[in-house]
Amino acid sequence: MNKKMIALAFFLFIIIYLPAQQVTLTSEQLKALTPEWKGERSPDGRPMAPQRILDRLKKVSLEEAWGYLRNKGYQNQFEGDWMVIRPDSVMVGRVVTAQYMPARPDFDKIIKDKGKAEGRIGSTNSWPIDALKDGDIYVADSYGKIVDGTLIGDNLGNAIYAKSHRGVIFYGSVRDIEGLLDINGFNGWVKGYDPSYIQQMMLAGINVPIRIGRATVLPGDIVLAKKTGIVFIPAALLEDLVLNSEFVQLRDAYGHQRLREGKYTPGQIDMQWTDEIKKDFLKWLDERKDLPMTRKELDEYMKGRTW
């Protein structure tokens, strides 16, 4: 068994068999859970994807992100069919996860006692908020519960936005929609709304692997959320995914322009490009003043790639 498999088995053992030992994974455990990430990490151990790449991710389409991940073998990173609080806004950020389950008194007591020992205060559905930093997104699996499954209202919504300047993704529900809409900049992707309060639910873990519908989500993943769905991106793949998307957009813009000009036929543009077209494309790039990446990044990306 290799080191990655040993690390995965270790964490599965902790998450499944030792829940009483901790509410959240430690920084060392999170590092071992995301070994392919080689960059900066937050103090809690999550990958800290750079903001400059997150800003560029906003312009990536869901199809481009989904297609890239699928080609890399990540076929379960998309979830659609959401109720979106502000559907015309795009939300990107780093994931903080929370797992909720139907209440079971003995397990719930273990979690609450451990949280109290760690100095946590308030209701358990407020605890994940304490883990949020600027640029984070609170992502919770509350197993699709709508009635009596409202994880937040406008009070916790204000606390979330004050810490993260983002919003939430809940496989469950919220209350106080009007109050949430009053929080300028706050957004949420949820499965429903209900005026009820949270009941018969318990927090099972913070910053643990969770399931969001069709997607498997790890702490430190990157969210690309638009009105038609959400893609959860492993942090280690983010920069190449963004560069790939930006290059495809440039290639398409060039092809569309040359087709409108009648310089090439659709067959020439859609097939593997000839050396003549490649040279023309490079000249076209030289004339552009609005590249989405630096020219150095673009040149490095094109080396050894079929385009």
Strand ranges for 177-285 from DSSP E: 187-193, 201-206, 210-212, 215-217, 222-226, 229-233
Please report which confidence band the pLDDT of residue 22 belongs to, taking 50, 70 and 90 as the band edges: confident
When pLDDT is cut at 50, 70 and 90, the band that residue 10 belongs to is very low
Strand partners, 249: none
Domain boundaries, the chain: 3-234, 239-302
Q: What is the mean pLDDT of residues 166-190?
A: 98
- CA separation for the pair 271, 102 (Å, rounded): 54
Quick one: 18 exposed, middle or buried, by C-beta within 10 A (0-12, 13-18, 19+)?
A: exposed
3-234 has CATH 3.50.30.40 classification? yes
pLDDT above 90: residue 15: no
Q: What is the pLDDT of residue 305?
A: 77
Angle made by CA atoms 254, 257, 258, in degrees to the nearest 5: 85
Enter the pTM of the model: 0.89
How many other β-carbons are positioned within 10 Å of the β-carbon of residue 228? 13
For the chain, what is the mean pLDDT? 93
